[in-house]
Amino acid sequence: MNDELTKVREWAQGQLDAEHVPPWATRRYVHVVVLIDEMLASRSRAAPQRKENVVHLDFARRCRATRPANLRA
């Protein structure tokens, strides 16, 4: 996923550098570059997720869905 984001970021930056972007779209391309930079930076800082959390969340959702309506909080 990071590779794909990096490719999109490089493409958008290349369009800006080559001035292929119409004036009304320049700000959007700058936004794309900044947002991707922030996403990539946050992924490098984030702690690795444990896979068992997904199972626990799924189990909790199923338990909540099967509980009678009068017992739901």
At 71 the pLDDT is 59
pTM of this structure: 0.56
Residue 61: which domain range?
2-71
Question: CA-to-CA distance for 64 and 7, rounded, in angstroms?
Answer: 41
Q: How far apart are CA 33 and CA 29, in angstroms?
A: 6
Total domains present in the chain: 1
* 7-64 tens-digit pLDDT: 999 999 999 999 888 889 899 999 999 999 999 888 766 555 555 555 555 555 565 5
Q: 């794909």: which residue's tokens?
A: 4
Note the residue count of the chain.
73
Contact 33, 9 (CB under 8 A): yes
Cα of 63 vs its chain's centroid, Å: 28
